[in-house]
């Protein structure tokens, strides 16, 4: 594979907005306000107050730990992400970086500062996650969820005018500090590179809402996260620097539905220096040439923000962008309004076959951590499905759903759904057993290494059986009816195929002559194959992962 070029494109159009474009932008803003994604002034003031309190708390902690009563030592809490970009929604969390001067260690942050936070009356749900790729402290502060990262700079004092975009701050930093700084640096650089911040923010709000409604907003599941969507909108603003927000939204779909992937999206020419950090560069790193949808962060060290995107999830995103282009074309000629662009994706209406993953724990307090682990691995299962010759489409919904306690067990659980479309063949029996075993075994090893506990159940479900897994409200919204509005649980006796104990070519359900076609769940009574496409469903794959003693 030839490495893509790293060239910057110039502006496509410098035309000033027309009156009709400005009017459409106002209608777009009004529609977004009707969707309730903007905070009230009182809510915005409360959010600013939370940041102010955290900043004061952090500065006082640094003074106390350094034992030098000098306000000039510094220390600063720097918000980044959607809040820093000015596109956060009502009820969104705050991502913030705690920047400290030298001689303040990371261990101090996760011990004494963590203890100080635990003593604050505004703080609840406090937990530290030191083992993650980017270590952080999570909490609720006065009703707002906050993620705090930490980085120390090689400076004796931190000035109030500290500019984290200065690459010299990265000199001699450890990897964890450099990764923690990256969020702030990328956010600030994006804002610095867009020609009109107000138009950028309105357009980005629209695109983020669209992506969430269409089910393509999730970095962990292999779609695009907030920073990737922000960079695509910023690129559109660079290509049409004088356009109104409504035109930027339209051109966004035009540009990226036709983008020649895997050519990278760049907001600026990659910075070259000798600080020694690894950067995304397919001319040097062969592995970078195989990234499906590279969107490159503008600050050094440049990274691909879409590392999790596979060819299949890229195709899903491009398909949705193509649909969005058709809708915005109609909006631009007055044949549709903005409501149509933000219509919810009918995920359950688009598929007939599903794989359901149920993550459950005995105690509610363990569920969030366990579900986070499962969610981080689901994209690998989808990738395995994509490699199956009989699977045409495998698409996971970013939404999680609470489990229905039909059996009355009382366990806490959450569900993910993968919609599947199969290739059209005569007399097709589909075998996904190995795919699920591969996923399950890797998940088991990871859970044991991380000392996590919980259960994971994976099984195949037809559309007509969704009423056993989803609430009546969700089904109604998807246009799916359950008989008499009642969740039905079959009482029919089942025969179980113990696929985990027998080789795939050996005896299954008393029939040694045929190759079994197994998935997950339960086998309908009787093992005689029919000369039509049919599912034979094997023993449920359920892993009981207990914490090590």
82 given a catalytic annotation = yes
Binding-site residue positions for ATP: 80-82, 89, 93-95, 147, 208, 217, 226-227
Residue pLDDT, tens place only, 420-466: 998 877 666 777 888 888 888 888 888 888 778 788 888 888 898 89
Residue 358 near residue 468 (C-beta atoms within 8 A): no
Least confident of 6-20, 179-193, 425-439: 425-439
**CA 519/CA 258 separation, integer angstroms:** 37
Among 160, 186, 162, 147, smallest CA distance to 50 is for 147
Q: What is the pLDDT of residue 525?
A: 32
Cα four-point dihedral sign 209, 210, 211, 213 = positive
Which regions of the chain carry the CATH code 1.10.1410.10?
19-322
| Residue of 152, 208, 235, 539 marked catalytic | 208
Assigned token pair, 63 = 């003074």
* Widest distance between CA atoms in the chain: 83
Strands 94-100 and 144-152: parallel
Degrees, nearest 5: CA angle 307-310-316: 120
Assigned token pair, 288 = 């970078």
| Residue of 108, 152, 217, 223 marked catalytic | 217
pLDDT bucket at 2, cuts 50 / 70 / 90:
low
For residue 161, which phi and psi values (nearest 5 degrees)? -90, 20
With tokens 């030098």, the residue in question is 68
**CA 276/CA 171 separation, integer angstroms:** 9
Binding-site residue positions: 80-82, 89, 93-95, 147, 208, 217, 226-227
**CA 355/CA 521 separation, integer angstroms:** 10
Q: What is the pLDDT of residue 181?
A: 95
93 given a catalytic annotation = yes
286 given a catalytic annotation = no
The pTM for the full model equals: 0.85
166 given a catalytic annotation = no
CATH 1.10.1410.10 fits 19-322, yes or no: yes
| Residue of 27, 53, 93, 463 marked catalytic | 93
Residues 6 or more apart whose Cβ sits within 8 Å of residue 131: 450
Which regions of the chain carry the CATH code 3.30.70.590?
347-485+538-544
Helix (H) or strand (E) holding 257, with range, is: helix 245-257
Least confident of 78-92, 371-385, 398-412, 529-543: 529-543
Query: Could you please report the per-residue DSSP string of 482-528?
Result: -GGG---------B---TTTS-TTS-BTTB-SS-----SS-BPS---
- Using alpha carbons, list the distances in angstroms from residue 421 to 9, 214, 311: 38, 18, 16
The matching CATH number, chosen from 2.40.50.660, 3.50.50.60, 3.30.70.590, 3.30.590.10, for 347-485+538-544 is 3.30.70.590
Question: Does the structure show a pLDDT above 60 at 109?
Answer: yes
Distance from CA of residue 151 to its chain's centroid?
A: 24
| Residue of 25, 108, 128, 147 marked catalytic | 147
Q: What is the pLDDT of residue 81?
A: 94
With tokens 């003074």, the residue in question is 63
Degrees, nearest 5: CA angle 13-19-24: 90
| Residue of 82, 128, 292, 478 marked catalytic | 82
Beginning with the edge strand found earlier in the chain, give each strand of the sheet holding 136-141 in spatial order.
Answer: 76-80, 94-100, 144-152, 136-141, 123-129
Strands 391-396 and 401-402: unpaired
Binding-site residue positions for Mg(2+): 93, 95, 147
**CA 328/CA 250 separation, integer angstroms:** 6
Q: Which long-range contacts (CB under 8 A, 24 or more apart) does 402-411 make?
A: 402/471, 403/358, 403/360, 403/469, 404/468, 404/469, 404/470, 404/471, 404/487, 406/468, 406/487, 406/489, 411/360, 411/361, 411/362, 411/455
Question: What are the DSSP E strand ranges found in 439-516?
Answer: 454-462
Among 133, 148, 186, smallest CA distance to 164 is for 186
Half-sphere exposure of 46 (CA within 13 A, CB side): 15
Question: Does the structure show a pLDDT above 80 at 73?
Answer: no
Residue pLDDT, tens place only, 285-344: 999 999 999 999 999 999 999 999 998 999 999 999 999 999 999 999 999 999 999 999
246 given a catalytic annotation = no
| Residue of 95, 108, 188, 288 marked catalytic | 95
217 given a catalytic annotation = yes
pLDDT bucket at 5, cuts 50 / 70 / 90:
low
Among 146, 148, 115, 103, smallest CA distance to 130 is for 148
With tokens 């920047």, the residue in question is 99
**CA 26/CA 161 separation, integer angstroms:** 35
pLDDT bucket at 209, cuts 50 / 70 / 90:
very high
């Amino acid at each position: 594979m030839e490495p893509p070029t790293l060239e910057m494109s110039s502006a496509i159009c410098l035309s000033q907005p027309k009156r009709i474009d400005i009017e459409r932008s106002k209608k777009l803003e009004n529609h977004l306000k009707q969707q309730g994604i903007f905070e009230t002034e009182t809510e915005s003031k409360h959010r600013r107050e939370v940041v102010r309190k955290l900043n004061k708390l952090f500065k006082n902690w640094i003074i106390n730990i350094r034992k030098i009563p000098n306000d000039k030592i510094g220390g600063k809490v720097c918000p980044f992400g959607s809040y820093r970009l000015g596109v956060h929604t009502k009820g969104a969390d705050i991502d913030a970086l705690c920047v400290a001067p030298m001689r303040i260690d990371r261990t101090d942050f996760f011990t004494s500062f963590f203890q100080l936070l635990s003593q604050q009356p505004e703080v609840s749900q406090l937990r530290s996650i030191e083992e993650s790729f980017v270590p952080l402290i999570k909490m609720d502060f006065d009703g707002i969820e906050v993620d705090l990262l930490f980085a120390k700079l090689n400076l004796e004092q931190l000035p109030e005018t500290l500019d984290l975009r200065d690459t010299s701050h990265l000199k001699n930093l450890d990897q964890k500090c450099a990764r923690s700084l990256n969020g702030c640096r990328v956010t600030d650089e994006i804002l610095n590179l867009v020609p009109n911040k107000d138009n950028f923010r309105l357009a980005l709000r629209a695109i983020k809402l669209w992506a969430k409604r269409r089910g393509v907003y999730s970095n962990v599941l292999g779609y695009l996260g907030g920073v990737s969507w922000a960079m695509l909108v910023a690129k559109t603003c660079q290509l049409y620097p004088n356009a109104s927000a409504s035109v930027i939204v339209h051109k966004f779909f035009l540009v990226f539905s036709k983008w020649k992937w895997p050519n990278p999206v760049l907001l600026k020419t990659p910075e070259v220096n000798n600080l020694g950090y690894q950067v995304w560069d397919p001319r040097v790193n062969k592995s970078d040439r195989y990234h499906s949808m590279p969107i490159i962060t503008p600050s050094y060290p440049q990274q691909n923000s879409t590392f999790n995107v596979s060819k299949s999830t890229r195709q899903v995103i491009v398909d949705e962008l193509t649909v969005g282009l058709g809708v915005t074309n109609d909006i631009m000629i007055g044949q549709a309004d903005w409501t149509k662009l933000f219509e919810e994706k009918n995920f359950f209406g688009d598929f007939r076959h599903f794989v359901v993953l149920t993550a459950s724990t005995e105690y509610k307090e363990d569920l969030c951590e366990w579900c986070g682990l499962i969610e981080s691995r689901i994209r690998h299962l989808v990738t395995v499905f994509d490699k199956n010759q009989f699977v045409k489409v495998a698409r996971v919904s970013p939404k999680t759903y609470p489990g229905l306690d039909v059996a009355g067990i009382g366990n806490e659980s959450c569900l993910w759904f993968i919609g599947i479309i199969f290739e059209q063949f005569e007399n097709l029996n589909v075998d996904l057993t190995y795919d699920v075993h591969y996923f399950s075994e890797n998940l088991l090893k990871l859970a044991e290494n991380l000392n996590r506990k919980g259960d994971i159940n994976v099984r195949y479900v037809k559309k007509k059986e969704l009423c056993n897994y989803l609430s009546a409200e969700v089904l109604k919204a998807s246009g799916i009816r359950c008989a008499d509005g009642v969740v039905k649980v079959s009482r029919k006796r089942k025969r179980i195929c113990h696929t985990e104990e027998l080789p795939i070519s050996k005896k299954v359900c008393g029939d040694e002559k045929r190759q079994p076609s197994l998935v997950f769940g339960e086998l309908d009574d009787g093992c005689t194959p029919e000369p039509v496409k049919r599912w034979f469903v094997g023993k449920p794959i359920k892993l009981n992962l207990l914490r090590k003693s």
